[in-house]
Amino acid sequence: MEIASGLLHGFAVALQPGNIIWCFVGCLLGTIVGILPGLGPAATIALLLPLTFKMDPAGGIIMLAGIYYGAKYGGSTTSILLNIPGESSSVVTCLDGYQMARKGRAGAALGIAAIASFVAGTVGVIGLTLVAPPVAAFALSFSSPEYFALMCLGLALVVLLSGTSLLKGLLSLLLGLWLTSIGTDLFTAQSRFIFGQATLLGGIDFMVVAIGVFAIGEVLSSVEAGEEAKVLPVPRGFRNLLPNAQELKACRFAFLNGSITGFLVGCLPGGGATISSFIAYGIEKAVSKHPEQFGKGAPEGVAAPEGANNADTGGALVPLLTLGIPSGGSTAIMLSALVLWGVKPGPLMMQESPDVFWGLVASMYIGNVVLLILNLPLVPLFAQILRLPVYVLFPVIFGISIVGAYGASGRMFDLGLLVGFGLLGYAMSKLKYPSAPLILGFVLGDAMERALRQSLMMSQGDLLTLVERPISAIMLSLALVILLIPLFGWFNRLRLRAITENG
Amino acid sequence: MLRAFLKKGDVISGAVLAALGVFIITQARSWDYYTLDGPGPGFFPFWYGVAMVVLSLLLVLNAARADTDGDSKADWPATGRAMTVWLAFAVSVGLMDFLGFLISFALLAFFLVAVVFRRPFTTAAVVAVASALAFHLIFPVALSVSLPTGPFGF
């Protein structure tokens, strides 16, 4: 009953005219960004975050979430028409989507992707609605040691799944922890790592790190590639976008598979849409009566990963909203946004900020409908975005980055840092260091240090407190097992296959 | 080719991170490790500094041990292209203190279109002027978001 009344309250918030508009704007921007190769959802959310500072938290988070799941819808368009994934979570969609397009079924492939995204996206939100309240209730019993252990577990999973080298993932995480220590220690007012710069006493602004590493880093990497790709024509007319009865029938199981796999994998920190789309594709191929069709334009091969990609959103918001633990780059930025607005994600969020929590959940039901409408009849229009020359796009991204980094603080110093972090982001992608652990380490570092120090204060310096409490003991053991996994050959081969096939 | 580059990159980046780890440890040791109230400001940095040194040395060792296929180079023209863009961005940010956002950004856009993407000067000029003006009208004028200003007030 509590869930039903919460959701009703959420719809009352989400259906306010202002919030409907923000939901629409978020979905529209997300779709556009999803279509543009070279600019991911994390970068876009980071770029647009400063614009939401003046908004009320419910409207702001509704828009940011719209960008997040809108980009996932849009990502399939470039996979199908260009064989270039707009986002890493759309890599698998290329396999069969592009083949369908080459056979003249581009419209049907886009249609299946949109329908699968809608069905699974909605299932994911239903999952979020039902699962979040009990998880939050369970987490109410958590104290500092449990939070510290939970963060270790989340970070371990992110490191495990973010790149081929575990060492590089861990180093990226440690770099994030160091960057977040810069500034004043909240317990003792000791200044740390400020290099004599008074400006650094308040710490480094999250925006500068996120925009630099994601947006500038991504642009510099795309500049390397240089050339523009050729788009396959999108058939005009709504009817040409609808899959035929035979194709829909083939996708029945794929819709279900994508929904469930996507949601479950999404709930795990570090799971993420990329991994879930790969797993759903694998399951679909394994149970199919004609696996030889996969990779040659099987409609299920589009429906399963696209579904999983979108059901993942609902899953990823479970740990973010109920535990305050983001599962990847985009959710890490959303966490910082919530904190900036004074909303504290965690077990008490449902009671303390019902407008934001339930408003966001309800808006996602609406957002999925908005996206279905945007993506089915308007796909030919959006495909025109692909004709926007990159030489126009790149200066614009630089401009927005400058506005984002300078607008929040008004300090030239931050622009200097932005230049530095842009180079760092590029170097990391060039040397194959994953950037998600750095951002997560930066976002969670303060809370992690606080939880550890509080735990040790509570136990008068006894480290055993972390393993004497059952929940934290289980989570820390799991984190340890996760980091030892690569030592087991067969599992590591599986992990590497999952990551490399996902780009 | 990529492997050889990554190997070299791993050794260099590992060494840089190890040095950073040593720096973190030395700094952390100058702050209280433990106080009467519990762990001090040096406690957490000390341990992640240690972890950073250990892991980066492992990375260097792994890279040194791995085989390489022949003497090959990274894709330097592509890297050069990216670095040119980064440098242009850095210079334009540096100029912003003196020239303001509008002019510095227009210069950056012109450089990107004309030099990096090799489009005609007229195209570059149109993109530069139009995008700089659009930013000026949207952010400082319509949304009252402050941007660096130069001697001309924009």
Give dist(CA A19, CA A359) in Å, integer: 9
Residues in chain B: 154
Selecting from A192, A224, A392 the residue whose C-beta is nearest the C-beta of B79 gives: A224
User: Is B6–A432 a contact, with Cβ atoms under 8 angstroms apart?
Assistant: yes
* Spatial separation of the C-alpha atoms in residues A365 and A15, rounded to whole Å: 11
Classify residue A16 as exposed, middle or buried by CB count within 10 Å of its CB (0-12, 13-18, 19+).
middle
**Cross-chain Cβ contact A187/B56 below 8 Å:** no
CA dist A96 and A428 (Å) reads: 31
Q: What is the pLDDT of residue B70?
A: 45
Please give the Cα distance from A34 to A54 (Å, whole number).
25
Instruction: Please tell me which of the candidates A168, A407, A432 has its beta carbon nearest to residue B146.
Output: A407
Spell out which residues of chain A touch residue B88, defining contact as CB-CB under 8 Å: none
Helix (H, G, I), strand (E, B) or coil at B42: coil
Is B58 touching A (CB cutoff 8 A)?
yes
Q: What is the mean pLDDT of residues B19-44?
A: 93
Residues in chain B closer than 8 A to A403 (CB atoms): 135, 139, 145, 147
Cα maximum dimension of chain B: 69
Chain B: closest CA distance from residue A50 (Å): 9
- Using CB atoms, which residue from B31, B86, B108 is nearest to A220? B86
Give contacts of A181 with chain B, Cβ < 8 Å: 44-45
* Residue B52 reports pLDDT greater than 70: yes
Hey, what amino acid is at B21?
G
Task: Determine the Cα–Cα distance for residues B154 and B151; give it in Å rounded to an integer.
Answer: 8
Calpha distance B92→B100 (Å, rounded)? 10
Q: What is the C-alpha to C-alpha distance for residues A488 and A452, in angstroms, rounded to an integer?
A: 30
pLDDT value for A262: 92
Structural tokens at position A429? 């992608």
Among A65, A54, A56, smallest CA distance to A29 is for A65
Q: Which residues of A touch B97 (CB under 8 A)?
A: 412
Interface residue of A151, A175, A219, A220 to substitute, partner B, most B CBs within 10 Å: A220
Residues A138-150 as b or e (16 or more Cβ within 10 Å = b): ebeebebbbbbbb
Structure tokens at B140: 């400082």
Interval A146-172: pLDDT, tens: 989 988 988 887 787 777 788 999 999
User: In chain B, whose CA is at the least distance from the CA of A183?
Assistant: B41
H/E element holding B26? Answer: helix B2-29
Q: Which residue has the tokens 């020239």?
A: B99
Contact B45 A51 (CB under 8 A): no
Choose among A490, A485, A481, A472: nearest CA to A148.
A472
User: What are the residues whose beta carbons fall under 8 Å from the beta carbon of A37, sequence distance 6 or more?
Assistant: A78, A82, A84, A85, A86, A222
> Position A333: which residue type?
I
**SS3 letters for A423-480?**
HHHHHHHHCCCCCHHHHHHHHHHHHHHHHHHHHHHHCCCCCCHHHHCHHHHHHHHHHH
Indicate the residue of B49, B52, B81 with minimum beta-carbon distance to A223. B81
Per CB-CB distance under 8 Å, the chain A contacts of B89 are: 216, 398, 419, 422
Residue A230 has a pLDDT of 62
Chain A: residue whose CA lies nearest to B106:
A395
Reported as type and span, the H/E element at residue B6 is helix B2-29
Torsion angle of alpha carbons A147, A152, A153, A158, nearest 10°?
130
Token readout for B31 is: 């702050």
Between chain A and chain B, the number of residue pairs with CB atoms below 8 A apart is 163
Cβ neighbours of A193 in B, within 8 Å: 24, 27, 45
Beta bridge partners of A192: A183
Q: Which residues of chain A have pLDDT under 50?
A: 502-503
Per the CB < 8 A criterion, the answer to whether A103 and A346 are in contact is no
Q: How far apart are alpha carbons A461 and A405 in whole angstroms?
A: 40
Nearest Cα residue in chain A from B104: A399
d(CA A128, CA A316): 9
Distance CA A124, CA A120 (A): 6
Residues 6+ apart with CB under 8 A from A213: A421, A422, A424, A425, A428, A435, A438, A439
Q: Are residues B75 and A224, on separate chains, in Cβ contact within 8 Å? A: yes
pLDDT tens for each residue of B67-76: 655 444 567 8
What ipTM was reported for this prediction? 0.93
Question: Is A191 in a helix, a strand, or coil?
Answer: strand
B2/B75 Cα distance (integer angstroms): 8
Q: How far is B68 from chain A (nearest CA, A)?
A: 16
- DSSP annotation string for A127-162: HHHHHHHHHHHHHTT--HHHHHHHHHHHHHHHHHHH
SS3 B39: strand
Residue B74: its pLDDT value, please? Answer: 65
End-to-end Cα distance, chain A? 43
CA distance B17 to A15: 50
- Give the pLDDT of residue A234: 67
Chain A residues inside the 8 Å CB shell of B31: 190, 192
Contact between chains at B48 and A174 (C-beta distance less than 8 A): yes
Residues 20-39 of B with CB under 8 A from A: 20-21, 24, 27, 31-32, 34-35, 37-39
pLDDT of residue A175: 97
pLDDT of residue A502: 47
Residue with tokens 């993420």: A272
Of A48, A40, A37, A95, nearest to A226 by C-alpha is A37
